Amino acid sequence: MAPGRPATALAPMQDVTDLPFMRVIHHYGDPDYYFTEYFRVHAHSRLEPHILRSITENKTGRPVFAQMIGESIPELVKTARELRRHPVAGIDLNMGCPAPKIYKKHCGGGLLRDPARIDRVLGALREAIPGRFTVKMRIGFDSTDTFPALLDLIDKHGIDLLSLHARTVRQGYRGEAHYDYVRLAVERLSCPVLANGNILSADRALRVAAETGCHGLMIGRHAIRNPWIFRQIREAFGGAPVFRPTLGDVRGYVERLYHTTRTGACPEQLHVNKMKKYLNFLGQGVDPEGKFLYEMRRTRTEADLFTVCDRHLLTAPETPFADEPYDGVIARPNCEGPATETAAVSNR
């Protein structure tokens, strides 16, 4: 990492941050750190080969942290030991996943309701991991009352890096991120802290870094929308002119995504559906009415998909791609829309 500027990290994202996606991000400008999507840990789990590939075949030249999620302490310890046989930069524990089927067990975001259990989990893993042991968590489950106690546990167990998604588990992906809790963590902890949640742009990264004093910025959905974001952040912090992609550049990104993330045997329609998951985010920067999203979501074939892309991205290819999502253009209405679904664009 360059001295004098905050670090950057690609956030772990299930079904997104696999080896092909990391290759795409590498092309546009690497973050300083990568994190794998989570390895699920349970009694019969084995390291999932497609996630493992993002470690063992990773040619980005950047450190890769392996994330785990699970309930059973002995199984977590066993999995951490297995992961350490591979070239990982560290082992990361997920304490933030808001999916009900996860948090209803004592894992992911559900752990935040039970500090005594966190104490046991972190204690056992710390003992088993001589190298870097990192945690990704939220600021609380349904309130932030226990946040100071959570930070004390992070310190007590000598965690090497904390990635903090500045929302509660109950908030899911909705609403503002509360960066004042990132500042609190930075002030209280001896380990470095990555600020996470709605780092939309290089401008937002500059602001959050200045407000919180964080070690770095972890970016998820906004790197799917804008794969140039890590480069832009480096340029902004270095005082260099910041690259501004055009809609024509975005068309090139769609093409690269399509071909890099398609595995040989994947049927066309299935791959088109997979592309929609990425394009849901990308579409937030294409047009303020969400017309691209509306049309893209209705395509079924590769030819249809690229016809829609060409119409929206190549009619005026020099048009700047919006730096931040257009207001009211929502990527995943069920997850990110307002709690009461009133936004016109999200319902189309």
Ligand X SMILES: Cc1cc2nc3c(=O)[nH]c(=O)nc-3n(C[C@H](O)[C@H](O)[C@H](O)COP(=O)(O)O)c2cc1C
Helix runs in the chain, H state only: 19-28, 49-56, 73-83, 100-103, 115-128, 147-156, 179-188, 202-212, 221-225, 229-238, 247-260, 268-282, 291-296, 302-313, 333-336, 344-347
Identity of the residue, 95 or 254, whose beta carbon is nearer to ligand X in the bound complex:
95
Q: Is 191 a catalytic residue?
A: no
DSSP 8-state symbol, 164: E
Measured from the Cβ of residue 185, the count of other Cβ atoms closer than 10 Å reads 25
User: CB of residue 318 vs ligand X: minimum separation in angstroms?
Assistant: 28
> 97, 107, 214, 309: which is the annotated catalytic residue?
97
Residue 188 beta carbon to ligand X: minimum distance, rounded to whole angstroms: 21
Radius of gyration of the chain (CA): 20
Spatial distance between the Cα atoms of 292 and 185, rounded to a whole number of angstroms: 40
Q: Cβ of residue 24: shortest distance to ligand X, in angstroms?
A: 15
Q: Among residues 168 and 198, whose Cβ is nearest to ligand X?
A: 198
d(CA 50, CA 296): 28
DSSP secondary structure of 180-236: HHHHHHHHH-SS-EEEES---SHHHHHHHHHHH--SEEEESHHHHH-TTHHHHHHHH
CB nearer to ligand X: give 198 or 299.
198
312 touches 287 (CB < 8 A): yes
Q: Minimal distance in Å, beta carbon 67 to ligand X?
A: 6
Report yes or no: 61 and 53 within 8 Å, Cβ to Cβ: no
For residues 20 and 338, give the distance between their C-alpha atoms in angstroms, rounded to a whole number.
32
User: Which residue's CB is nearer to ligand X, number 132 or number 319?
Assistant: 132
Least distance (Å) from ligand X to the CB of residue 44?
Answer: 20
Q: Which is nearer to ligand X, 66 or 306 (CB)?
A: 66
- Tell me which DSSP letter residue 286 carries: T
Point out which residues bind ligand X (CB under 6 A).
11-14, 16, 37-38, 67, 94, 96, 136, 165, 196-199, 219-222
CB atoms within 10 A of CB 305: 21
Rounded to the nearest whole angstrom, what is the least distance from the CB of residue 165 to ligand X in the complex? 4
Question: With respect to ligand X, which residue has the nearer C-beta, 94 or 346?
Answer: 94
First and final CA of the chain: distance in angstroms? 43
Mind telling me the catalytic residues? Answer: 97
